[in-house]
Amino acid sequence: MSYMRRYYSSESRQNRLSDRDMLADLINTEKHISHLYEHAIMESTHSHVYNFMEDMQRDEHDNAFTLFQAMQQRDWYNPSSKQTDQYNTDQYNNENNNETRKQKFLQNRKKSIMNKAKTKSIQF
């Protein structure tokens, strides 16, 4: 009887993980395992080990995708449009920063060449 109270009490039911938490935990575990397989693949010295680890990692990717789909169907794991918008904003800012850096570089390069030309009396 104490066994029943101990493992099936209302307190233990309150401390259980929800389905959403379990799936989130599983998908995070798959990500970590895949990361470990990646290290094993990169450091393998024998082609049989390399191929075996690649197959294992492919299985982990398939498992993670299945979990992702299950969570997405339940609307528990959706890449938000906010994240997509932030990515697009970051890309735009990076492109603009790169263009600005390029322009500054070219301006500085032009100034440098002009200064060298002045000191060496070279005319353009």
Mean residue pLDDT across the chain? 77
Residues 35 and 60 in one domain: yes
Residues 61 and 35 in one domain: yes
| Choice between 6 and 21, residue whose per-residue pLDDT is larger | 21
Residues 57 and 7 in one domain: yes
- pLDDT given at position 120: 60
The answer to whether 76 touches 21, Cβ cutoff 8 Å, is no
Q: What is the mean pLDDT of residues 35-41?
A: 92
Residues 96 and 118 in one domain: yes
Range of the domain at 123: 80-124
Q: What is the mean pLDDT of residues 28-41?
A: 92
Residues 66 and 106 in one domain: no
Q: What is the mean pLDDT of residues 69-78?
A: 88
Confirm whether pTM is higher than 0.85.
no
- Count structural domains, the chain: 2
Residues 60 and 86 in one domain: no
